[in-house]
Amino acid sequence: MEVAATLERDAQLMLRVRDGDETSFAILLERHRSPVVHFVYRMVGNQAVAEELAQEVFFRVYKSRASYEPTAKFTTWLYRIASHLALNAIRDGKKRKYQQSLDQERPDGTEIQVPDGETSVEQRMVAQVRAAEVRQAIEALPDKQRAAVLMHKYQGLGYAQISATLEVSESATKSLLFRAYETLRVRLAHLA
């Protein structure tokens, strides 16, 4: 119920943006910027590129405000824009150009780590290795399968929203997810 209210509220906010309310756009940006950056990061594998693409996502949202119609959930529309930009970046070869490895450092000099909440150093190291293996297995999936998995598992979107976002049928979405999860199950069987 709360999720439906939030989504309805997002559509209402976007309608206010369409009518010229800048504050409503700031609210949408604040609410959705971080999840969009995380989604795009998981697609392209580089934080700087993800930040840049997320900025482009919201630029396009703002630019198309005059023609916005709440025919689908706001997040479906938002993630459609994000997935198209991420897929285009991958196709353009930006992923390979800007790819980061987990053992690199951020610009501020801190190491990239996967927080896991475990207490012992050994448990943290094992969790980091497992997370890296899962991340690499997801990155190795074909683009649309990867996008579907990221939207389903990490963004919590349902089949209908993923279908609308990727502009495929629900049965095609289920097929994409089935093939992706089967591939991941085989590749990551040693972790079970």
Q: Is 138 exposed, middle or buried (0-12, 13-18, 19+ CB in 10 A)?
A: buried
pLDDT tier, 93 (very low <50, low <70, confident <90, very high otherwise): low
Over residues 153-181, the mean pLDDT reads 90
Q: Using alpha carbons only, what angle is made at residue 119 by residues 117 and 120, rounded to the nearest 5 degrees?
A: 130
Do 68 and 140 belong together in one domain?
no
Over residues 120-141, the mean pLDDT reads 81
Tokens of 62: 């703002």
Q: Give the domain extent around 175.
A: 119-192
Residues 6+ apart with CB under 8 A from 91: 143
Cα distances from 71 to residues 67, 159, 169, in angstroms, run 11, 17, 17
- Give the CATH number for residue 186: 1.10.10.10
Question: Quick one: pLDDT at residue 5?
Answer: 55
pLDDT tier, 89 (very low <50, low <70, confident <90, very high otherwise): confident
Distance of CA 83 to the CA centre of its chain: 7
Question: 18 with 68: CB under 8 angstroms?
Answer: yes
Alpha-carbon span 46 to 49, nearest angstrom: 5
Do 49 and 96 belong together in one domain?
yes
Do 5 and 81 belong together in one domain?
yes
Do 74 and 161 belong together in one domain?
no
Q: Which residues pair with 111 in a beta bridge?
A: 105
Question: Quick one: pLDDT at residue 32?
Answer: 94
Do 96 and 40 belong together in one domain?
yes
The per-residue pLDDT of the chain, averaged, comes to: 81
Do 1 and 73 belong together in one domain?
yes
- Give the CATH number for residue 42: 1.10.1740.10
Domain count, the chain: 2
Do 14 and 57 belong together in one domain?
yes
Tokens of 72: 């689908």
- pLDDT tens for 29-88 read 999 999 999 999 988 888 889 999 999 999 999 998 888 888 878 888 899 999 999 988
With respect to residue 111, please indicate whether it lies within any of the assigned structural domains: no
With respect to residue 158, please indicate whether it lies within any of the assigned structural domains: yes
Q: Using alpha carbons only, what angle is made at residue 160 by residues 55 and 52, rounded to the nearest 5 degrees?
A: 10
116 has a pLDDT exceeding 50: no
Q: Decide which of 101, 132, 154 is a domain's last residue.
A: 101
